[in-house]
Amino acid sequence: MNALNETHDPDVRSWVPSAQAPGCDFPLQNLPFAVFRRRGSGQAWRGGVAIGDQVLDLAALAQAQLIQTADPLAAQALAAAAQDTLNDFMALGPAHWSALRRALWRLLREGSAEQPALQQRGLVPQAQAEYRVPARVGDYTDFYTSVHHATHIGRLFRPDNPLLPNYKWVPIGYHGRASSLVVSGTNFKRPRGQLMPPGAAQPTVGPSKRLDFELELGVYIGPGNALGEPIRIDQAEAHVFGLCVLNDWSARDIQGWEYQPLGPFLSKNFATSVSPWVVTLEALAPFRLPFTRPAEDPQPLPYLDSAQHRLRGALDIQLEVLLQTPTMRQAGQAPARIAQSNYRHAYWTLAQMVTHHAMGGCNLQAGDLLGTGTLSGPKPEEAGALIELTRGGQQPLTLPSGEQRTFLEDGDAVVLQAWCESPGLARIGFGICEGQVLPATPAA
């Protein structure tokens, strides 16, 4: 697990003025990575790092050779991070990631001798940038790490036995669809599928009527493991490059009909949105928390437990869901907050997800993506999906515009946000993950 170092000092400022702005997601202490280009330019995609409201162009930085001799690990990492995907950079491992982050921190802090050169050719305003999914994702696995979400959903279908007996023993997950991962800002069509109306004798085919969002974090894998080789719990985070915000859009009516006995299929594979920025675990080091498990619950089996993991295995990441309807948009009303939660409520940690995923011999690869599952907290207002917020559609949500929602309607836009914030520390933000629902494709 990452130790604190000079890059975490909250008193060090950047020469980029916006990095010190109140509420800024991207101060000098963050430096998350993305893949971008100037909007509409048609130029090659390249790696970038967020600082304030700017993107540091890593391809331009590599060409300028400003850190070529300063640190061989940082120079090697820069060459990989400047490419059109971050896979090669992710594969290098923690020593290279940390070396590049420290080198970038030194270039961007106040008093840097390289400020004039970077100001002239190294910065692109984020407002002028477009992004792509930052890695070539070979495989995507979605977990189910919130016991509160699992209990709330279970109670809708099994009031007397909401939580299945395996939940507190094993991190539950399913393999999702990597090809339909899209970057924030990509709108998508309402999915069509088989629907079984209540009391009907046979299903119908049509657009989903119970479309939902899911508030999640995404976990990008760094160096993989060989086929057949497990990953021990105390080494798991050395295989994690960083985190993003993730929205696993879900068609609840399609899901309810198809999910037994093999789990989600068409209800999940039409779109999954990710934020463009990947926040490194090193940047999150000040926001570590102990991993705890209620004394009355089963304690993790030995392969999912250790003294080190108990000490600092959890993370304090605040989460938020905003919703904007077409009516709100036309009236100039900003998206309204409908839920808040925190990653500290997760029952299973990211290290436990990685360890369990590989325990049977599965070979994870650089750029693979894990989803945490919906990160609901214990309170009703901390629910991370409409199916929870509205109790399965029985209690509509009333918005500031006076409109009501049980599930998403065409034109609705959902914005997910995440950040870490604590007195005496720099705010570490993830940017936003947003998407808008378009009408379904007409039947053939």
- Residue 258 to residue 319: CA distance in whole angstroms: 30
User: Which structure tokens are listed for 197?
Assistant: 């109306």
Do domains 6-132 and 140-438 share one topology? The answer is no
CA angle, 272 as apex, 285 and 387 as ends, to 5°?
A: 95
Cβ atoms within 10 Å, residue 298: 10
Q: How does residue 3 score in pLDDT terms, banded at 50, 70 and 90?
A: confident
pLDDT in tens, 115-173: 998 988 899 999 999 999 999 999 999 999 999 999 998 888 788 888 999 999 999 99
When pLDDT is averaged across residues 357-375 and rounded to a whole number, the result is 98
Instruction: Using the predicted structure, report yes or no on whether residue 200 has a pLDDT greater than 90.
Output: yes
When pLDDT is averaged across residues 73-88 and rounded to a whole number, the result is 97
pLDDT of residue 298: 97
Task: Kindly list the domain boundaries of the chain, sorted by start residue.
Answer: 6-132, 140-438
140-438 is a CATH 3.40.50.1970 domain:
no
Max CA-CA distance within the chain? 74
Q: Which helix (H) or strand (E) holds 432?
A: strand 428-438
**Predicted structure pTM score:** 0.97
**Residues annotated as catalytic (active site), given as ranges:** 149
Average pLDDT, the chain: 96
When pLDDT is averaged across residues 327-356 and rounded to a whole number, the result is 97
6-132: CATH, from 3.40.109.10, 1.10.10.10, 3.60.15.10, 2.30.30.230 = 2.30.30.230
Instruction: Using the predicted structure, report yes or no on whether residue 70 has a pLDDT greater than 80.
Output: no
Buried b (16+ CB within 10 A) or exposed e, 359-379: beebebbbbbbbbbbbbbbee
3-class SS letters over 264-306: CCCCCCCCEEECCCEEECCCCHHHEECCCCCCCCCCCCHHHCC
pLDDT of residue 121: 84
